[in-house]
Amino acid sequence: MPLPLAGLVVLDLTHVLAGPFASLTLGDLGARIIKVEKPGTGDDTRAFPPFTKGKSAYFAAINHGKASIALDLKGEADRAIFERLLERADVLLENFRPGVMERLGYGWDSLHARYPGLIYGAVSGFGHTGPEARRPAYDMVVQARGGVMSITGEDGRDPVRVGASIGDIVAGMYLTQGVLAALVDRARTGRGRKVDVAMLDAQLAILEHAIAITSATGKPPGPTGARHPSIAPFETFHASDGLFVIAAGNDVLFEKLCITLNLPLADDPRFATNPARVEHARLLKRLIEAVTLGDTRAHWIARLQAAGIPTGPIQNVAEVMKDPQIVARNMVVDVLDRNGRQAFKAAGNPIKMSDAEDRTARGPAPELDGNRGEILRWLDGG
Amino acid sequence: MPLPLAGLVVLDLTHVLAGPFASLTLGDLGARIIKVEKPGTGDDTRAFPPFTKGKSAYFAAINHGKASIALDLKGEADRAIFERLLERADVLLENFRPGVMERLGYGWDSLHARYPGLIYGAVSGFGHTGPEARRPAYDMVVQARGGVMSITGEDGRDPVRVGASIGDIVAGMYLTQGVLAALVDRARTGRGRKVDVAMLDAQLAILEHAIAITSATGKPPGPTGARHPSIAPFETFHASDGLFVIAAGNDVLFEKLCITLNLPLADDPRFATNPARVEHARLLKRLIEAVTLGDTRAHWIARLQAAGIPTGPIQNVAEVMKDPQIVARNMVVDVLDRNGRQAFKAAGNPIKMSDAEDRTARGPAPELDGNRGEILRWLDGG
């Protein structure tokens, strides 16, 4: 069976990360992605390091398998091509500053009147409404303003950013969801919708427990380092050769942990219940580390896994990419060059689907305007 | 116009966070969510603090607007009800350990044979395939093993976890995407698909730049505190009353910043280009803070915003929930009790859609088995 979005055409005006991350997923699910870039330089990330043979590995990781055409949306000839593409497109994506599409004559109202089945997906820093709709934002700005930094880091030290660009990525994922929901809707109504996702909104949407705590107690939570704020032991521990995680989420797992580590703590009133363990979490960490420092993390992970206790190493990204479970799940794929040789590595598709091939390689990241000829031939019905 | 998923029925066997987060979004988009819980205690998060009037604010934040029926899937009478629900359902969600559904007689193969249009969405720690498919996992385990902790925190100190539970949440979001893509597909084929999402896979999928760097250079990146690893100035700075962010992503913005702060650095060769600024980022931070410590963060944010430089405060979650842009975007909604009074607060829907009401309140979080009568009447056509 074909991929679930086979046959759908996405016209993608987005650049950098949030928007291209959305079209990456739509492409992995089978849609045809036509990346419309600005003539001359194209997507800014074409210039982002690191480079392999002069090509950005960053750009390749997010744009593999897409086709590229460079269009000047202020020039008549290119506008005519763009409008022919709109006639064939199911979805249009853009992440300009709000107002830009209107000035180009391609705002939602006029597009919807002319192409009633077209779905229009927009992602921006603060959204298309509200007092700050037109302000610029970057990932770091919405991570800070959106609250996630206030709960990330060590208590008593300055907050840190999340190392992955979740300000962009989570917004891109909500854009994907909105576009897919609009496609489900269109299958019944025949009509497209506009989807408007703000990076700031998306940060708030992932704060779940922090919103519950703040609204129930009036007191916003702070950062707790590598420890879960309300479960213990549920944090990192030092072994002789590095850190690993023990996540003993309930009394049964804690008792198993005590047996496995030969620690006579399960009957101690300071550790008999989860609330008691949370209260004495610092002491508990030292008592556990007094044992775990005596052997390697591999030793302890094997022992704890055998006992059914959730555990695992803290892996750097090179280790993750070689993790046997990650490899078995086809989560690191090859990005090919135009000669079919492996040029880069990229993340695989985490949406595994029955009767859909889970491809181990992806087509090349496009050259700027590199697919102009074939796109024009396709428009001509060739 | 109705919400985009109006009329669709989701039968939701999931508990805790990853699965319920997926059905939360599907519900916000208009689907009817029937939460099937284990008799007696139901979803574990019903017992998660904090509580308001004896009810978990955590459970309410993730489960508002869903209906609940408690079913013993090993008992004949309840299995008959479950199978009648399957006949009416468009989507089944579960987050059991792989193999549990098969032991209940509800594995994908038998469900697909009996209910060919049903979409089956599963989320688990490590996925339904691979050597570790059956191992247990928690958010903290996949954050550690999946690499995000290795790039989060301060250089030279132990890594920290991301304060939001992105191990669960990102997996739930991919599950939502997979289910929606399968619905798009089903509109053409009439046939359902199985969607299998692993929390570990989902962590790898969000590492974008870290994978590009590791695969191009062989060297995995480490944590960089609150600073972007390859852009400067792009980090937090101290004002007289707290921290704020300056994200001057290119030379033009840096020059504007120097003018705004009255800092004669734009022609200094140590700061003339972004690579030079990254090399001297620690010095640059001190030169900027020597100015910004002289006034409040509100002062500097207003000055920088007037100059068009991306900036913002680091807000705690209480501040975020009152942020005027967040309020204008309806991103904090009321969760009502059964009498229609506000009982909790929850995150709004970040997917804003044309012709779809952006509701300011949500229906109650269900009592355990609280909708049994109405669900049975609905099955009887009442």
Q: For chain B, say whether A281 makes contact (Cβ under 8 Å).
A: no
Query: B229 pLDDT band (50/70/90 cuts)?
Result: confident
Tell me the backbone φ, ψ of residue B287, rounded to 5 degrees: -65, -40
Report how far apart, in Å, the C-alpha atoms of B238 and of each of B134, B300, B315 are: 47, 10, 14
Active site residues of B: 228
pLDDT at A293 over 90: yes
* CB-count burial class (<10 Å; 0-12, 13-18, 19+) for B69: buried
- Which of B1, B195, B353 is opposite residue A351, by nearest beta carbon? B195
Sort out which chain B residues have CB atoms less than 8 A from A29's CB and list them: 177, 181
Q: For chain A, say whether B323 makes contact (Cβ under 8 Å).
A: yes
**Packing angle, helices A76-88 and A372-379, rounded to 10:** 60
Whether residues B201 and A355 touch (CB distance < 8 A) is answered with no
* CB-count burial class (<10 Å; 0-12, 13-18, 19+) for B286: exposed
Q: For chain A, say whether B219 makes contact (Cβ under 8 Å).
A: yes
Query: B274 pLDDT band (50/70/90 cuts)?
Result: confident
Distance CA A242, CA A326 (A): 21
- Which of A151, A245, A351 is opposite residue B144, by nearest beta carbon? A245
Classify strands B194-198 and B234-239 as parallel, antiparallel or unpaired: unpaired
Query: Residue A85 has what pLDDT?
Result: 98
Tell me the backbone φ, ψ of residue A247, rounded to 5 degrees: -125, 80
Distance CA A303, CA A307 (A): 7
Span A94-102, average pLDDT: 95
What are A180-236's pLDDT values in tens digits?
999 999 999 999 999 999 999 999 999 988 999 999 999 999 998 998 888 899 999
Query: Residue B1 has what pLDDT?
Result: 81
Query: Residue A382 has what pLDDT?
Result: 67
Query: Residue B231 has what pLDDT?
Result: 85
Residue B95 distance to chain A (closest CA, Å): 15
Span B283-311, average pLDDT: 96
pLDDT at A21 over 90: yes
Q: What is the 3-state secondary structure (H, E, C) of chain A?
A: CCCCCCCCEEEECCCCCHHHHHHHHHHHCCCEEEEEECCCCCCHHHHCCCEECCEEHHHHHHHCCCEEEECCCCCHHHHHHHHHHHHHCCEEEECCCCCHHHHCCCCHHHHHHHCCCCEEEEEECCCCCCCCCCCCCCHHHHHHHCCHHHHCCCCCCCCCCCCCCHHHHHHHHHHHHHHHHHHHHHHHHCCCCEEEEEHHHHHHHCCHHHHHHHHHHCCCCCCCCCCCCCCCCEEEEEECCEEEEEECCCHHHHHHHHHHHCCCCCCCCCCCCHHHHHHCHHHHHHHHHHHHCCCCHHHHHHHHHHCCCCEEECCCHHHHHHCHHHHHCCCEEEEECCCCCEEEEEECCCCEECCCCCCCEECCCCCCCCCHHHHHHHHCCC
DSSP notation for B210-256: HHHHHHHHS------TTS-SS-SSEEEEEETTEEEEEE--SHHHHHH
Report how far apart, in Å, the C-alpha atoms of A142 and of each of A259, A313, B51, B319, B350 are: 45, 30, 29, 13, 14
Query: Residue B60 has what pLDDT?
Result: 96
Residue B188 distance to chain A (closest CA, Å): 9
Sort out which chain A residues have CB atoms less than 8 A from B24's CB and list them: none
Query: Residue B382 has what pLDDT?
Result: 67
- Which of B180, B325, B348 is opposite residue A131, by nearest beta carbon? B325
Residue A291 distance to chain B (closest CA, Å): 19
pLDDT at B255 over 90: yes
- Which of B49, B173, B212 is opposite residue A230, by nearest beta carbon? B49
Interface predicted TM-score (ipTM) of this complex, two decimals = 0.96
pLDDT at A354 over 80: yes
Whether residues A316 and B60 touch (CB distance < 8 A) is answered with no
Q: For chain B, say whether A138 makes contact (Cβ under 8 Å).
A: yes
Residue B242 distance to chain A (closest CA, Å): 10
Cis peptide before A233 (omega within 30 of 0): yes
pLDDT at B57 over 90: yes
Cβ-Cβ contacts under 8 Å for A56 (sequence gap 6 or more): A45, A46, A47, A48, A49, A50, B212
- Which of B25, B211, B346 is opposite residue A347, by nearest beta carbon? B211
The sign of the torsion formed by the CA atoms of B292, B298, B301, B303 equals negative
Residue B365 distance to chain A (closest CA, Å): 13
Query: Residue B62 has what pLDDT?
Result: 97
Query: Residue A230 has what pLDDT?
Result: 80
Q: For chain B, say whether A233 makes contact (Cβ under 8 Å).
A: no
Span B46-57, average pLDDT: 91
Q: How much is the mean pLDDT over chain A?
A: 95
- Which of A178, A245, A247 is opposite residue B351, by nearest beta carbon? A178
What are A44-60's pLDDT values in tens digits?
999 888 899 999 999 99
Query: Residue B228 has what pLDDT?
Result: 85
> CA nearest B161 in A: which residue?
A226
Query: Residue B181 has what pLDDT?
Result: 98
Q: Residues 60 to 79 of B: which have CB under 8 A from any A CB?
A: 60-62
Report all structural domains of chain B as residue ranges with CATH numbers, in order of start. 9-206+327-379 (3.40.50.10540), 234-315 (3.30.1540.10)
Query: Among B118, B142, B148, B204, which would you mutate to test the A interface (most chain A Cβ atoms within 10 Å of its Cβ)?
Result: B204
Q: In degrees, to the nearest 5, what angle opens at C-alpha A343 toward C-alphas A338 and A346? A: 115
What are B332-371's pLDDT values in tens digits?
999 999 999 999 999 999 999 999 999 999 999 999 999 9
Q: B317 or B208, which is more confident?
A: B317
Whether residues A151 and B164 touch (CB distance < 8 A) is answered with yes
Q: For chain B, say whether A97 makes contact (Cβ under 8 Å).
A: no
Report how far apart, in Å, the C-alpha atoms of B195 and of each of A26, A361, B12, B322 are: 15, 20, 14, 38
pLDDT at B275 over 90: no
Classify strands B242-247 and B234-239 as parallel, antiparallel or unpaired: antiparallel
What are A303-345's pLDDT values in tens digits?
999 999 999 999 999 999 999 999 999 999 999 999 999 999 9
Q: How much is the mean pLDDT over chain B?
A: 95
Whether residues B193 and A355 touch (CB distance < 8 A) is answered with yes
Q: Residues 98 to 137 of A: which have CB under 8 A from any B CB?
A: 108, 112, 125-132, 135-137
Residue A75 distance to chain B (closest CA, Å): 26
Could you tell me which of B355, B360, B26, B3 has the C-alpha nearest to residue B182? B26
Answer whether A92's CB lies under 8 Å from A120's CB: yes
* Catalytic annotation present for A228: yes
Helix, strand, coil fractions of chain B, as percent rounded to 5? 40, 15, 40
Query: Residue A294 has what pLDDT?
Result: 97
Residue B89 CB coordination number (10 Å): 23
Whether residues B162 and A166 touch (CB distance < 8 A) is answered with yes
Query: Among B329, B332, B337, which would you mutate to test the A interface (most chain A Cβ atoms within 10 Å of its Cβ)?
Result: B329
